[in-house]
Amino acid sequence: MNLNFTAQEKDFQQEVHQFLQEKLPKNIAQKTKNSIHLSKKECIEWQQILHKQGWSAINWPVEHGGTGWTPTQKYIFANECAKAGGPDVIPFGLKMVAPVIYTFGNEEQKQRFLPDILASNVWWCQGYSEPGAGSDLASVRTTAVKEGDEYVVNGTKTWTTLGQHADWIFCLVRTGEPSAKNQEAISFLLINMNDPKITVSPIITIDGRHEVNEVHFDNARVPTENLIGVEGKGWTYAKVLLTHERTGIARVAISKDRLVQLKALAQISPDGDNKLIDDAIFAQKVAQVEIDLLALEYTELRTLSAISTGQAPGPESSILKIVGTQVIQAIDELYVEAAGYYSMPFVPDQFNDDFDGQSIGPDMATNSSLRYFNNRKASIYGGSNEIQTNIISKAVLGL
């Protein structure tokens, strides 16, 4: 057991660092650091730069275009990206549906879908939650009824993140008899959204943004060849995907960088004649989050180390989801606190290129409450923290 990077790992760190210096567009880094949302174009631009380098799919097997990195390399990459302001890739294609396709899809599906995901030519979104199926995801009601070589899909998916940009959606649909047990009638279907029978309507969230959507299917016709695996096994596939979603969800590297920046902000934020960092109560709050984050980092490293010895991420990944989101939200809240009165103005367009008004407050302050509001979602999505608690209780403690 040891903590030190090997010489090769140090070389790798240098390589990543240099790549980010050279290839990460400055405006994208600046926006990412200041919690400004990227346009679709900017997201794709960055992902295609990563792809050109061969680094867009860090978790995929090498045979499909993955990096083949060790957990340590992934850890180094995540940390360097966060430091440099390299944005996360949009997860729905690269991190969510791709593992399902290369694990459970047939050869034709792998060849058809994976290259475009790898190259970010196609934007994917996730069709899981429904108005009546949130925490109780297995109660999805969207139906896919087989007619010849097509499924006829009807229903509504919701909280579809960035669905307004998407070309394709992966869905949990009900294919079995209505009498079948909830989970045994669920199938995993890939649906092309270029279909007038599919409509996307925006949902505005409390930070004033259009990030999530409702997606309506009104007799949409989907070729049966888009079914992953076999009918009725969708729940099993989805669970694998959710476990993948949870391991990435701790976002340790980003929280580490956010803390570094928060401390820098506290160093320059005036508190009357002093600086905010001189306030013992504030400094203690920052220290507490930092300590929590250190523990979380090592919990994550333990998980990664287990994966590298061939074990699959288990229900322990729920710990990463719970603690990771607690840390994210605690840091967000400290930014609001640091911003003081400048956490209050709502001037979301002041960072747009064409904004011609007066910029209000210091850069890092003005988006602080919007980020705080937006990230309340973190303890709700991906299986709410209450559901994660139930998973640990049931699957780990055997209660």
Task: Name the nearest CA neighbour of 47 among 39, 70, 210.
Answer: 39
| 178 lies in the site for other proteins, by CB under 8 A | no
Based on the shown chain and the rule CB under 8 A, indicate whether residue 325 belongs to the binding site for other proteins: no
396 touching other proteins, by CB under 8 A:
no
Distance of closest approach, residue 351 Cβ to other proteins, in angstroms: 14
| Residue closer to other proteins (CB basis): 58 or 185 | 185
DSSP 8-state assignment for residue 190: E
Q: Would you say 92 and 113 are in contact if contact means Cβ atoms under 8 Å apart?
A: no
User: What does the alpha-carbon distance between residue 163 and residue 190 come to, in Å, rounded to a whole number?
Assistant: 14
Q: Rounded to the nearest 5 degrees, what angle is found at the Cα of 23, between the Cα atoms of 20 and 27?
A: 90
Which position among 108, 358, 397, 398 is part of the footprint of other proteins (CB under 8 A)?
Answer: 358
Write the DSSP symbol of residue 94: I
Whether the CB-CB separation of 333 and 261 falls below 8 Å is answered with no
Q: Considering the complex, what minimum distance in angstroms separates the CB of residue 202 from other proteins?
A: 10
| Contact between 179 and other proteins per CB under 8 A | no
3-state secondary structure string across 138-168? HHCCCEEEEECCEEEEEEEECCCCCHHHCCE
Among residue numbers 146 through 175, which ones bind other proteins (CB under 8 A)?
158-159
Cβ 254 vs Cβ 296: under 8 Å: no
Which among 130, 214, 245, 297 is annotated as catalytic? 245
Site string for other proteins, 275-304 (x = CB under 8 A): -x--x-xx----------------------
DSSP 29-54: HHHHHTTPPPPHHHHHHHHHHHHHHT
Binding span for other proteins by CB under 8 A among 44-52, 169-177, 246-254, 333-341:
333-341
Does position 306 bind other proteins by CB under 8 A?
A: no
Q: Which stretch binds other proteins (CB under 8 A): 16-24, 48-56, 206-214, 298-306?
A: 206-214
Question: Per rule CB under 8 A, is residue 354 in the interface with other proteins?
Answer: no
Which class for 248: exposed (0-12), middle (13-18), buried (19 or more C-beta within 10 A)? buried
Site for other proteins contains 102 (CB under 8 A): no
Provide the 8-state DSSP code for 69. -
Tell me the two tokens of residue 243.
Answer: 């476990």
Nearer to other proteins, 56 or 374 (CB): 374
Smallest distance, other proteins to C-beta of residue 343, A: 6
Q: Does 351 bind other proteins (CB under 8 A)?
A: no
Position among 179, 357, 397, 398 found at the interface with other proteins (CB under 8 A): 357
- In whole angstroms, what is the distance from residue 380 CA to residue 92 CA? 17
Whether 245 sits among the annotated catalytic residues: the reply is: yes
The least distance separating other proteins from the CB of residue 64, rounded to whole angstroms, comes to 32
Among 50, 336, 364, 391, binds other proteins (CB under 8 A): 336
d(CA 147, CA 143): 12
Residue in 8, 40, 132, 302 binding other proteins, rule: CB under 8 A? 132
Q: Which is nearer to other proteins, 44 or 276 (CB)?
A: 276
130 binds other proteins (CB under 8 A): no
The region of 16-24, 46-54, 118-126, 199-207 touching other proteins under the rule CB under 8 A is 199-207
- State the Cα–Cα distance between residues 353 and 256, nearest whole angstrom: 29
Beta bridge partners of 215: 157, 200
By rule CB under 8 A, what count of residues binds other proteins?
Answer: 51
Structure tokens of 397? 């403690």
Q: What gap in Å lies between CA 399 and CA 383, rounded to an integer?
A: 19
How many Å apart are CA 201 and CA 40, to the nearest integer? 17
Assess 208 for contact with other proteins (CB under 8 A): yes
* Gap between the Cα atoms of 284 and 330, Å rounded: 13
From 84, 301, 380, 392, residue interacting with other proteins (rule: CB under 8 A): 380
Residue (57 or 339) nearer to other proteins, CB? 339
Binding site for other proteins (CB under 8 A): 129, 132-136, 139, 158-159, 203-206, 208, 212, 270-273, 276, 279, 281-282, 336-337, 340-347, 357-358, 360-362, 369-370, 372-373, 376-377, 379-381, 384-386, 389
Please give the positions annotated as active site: 245
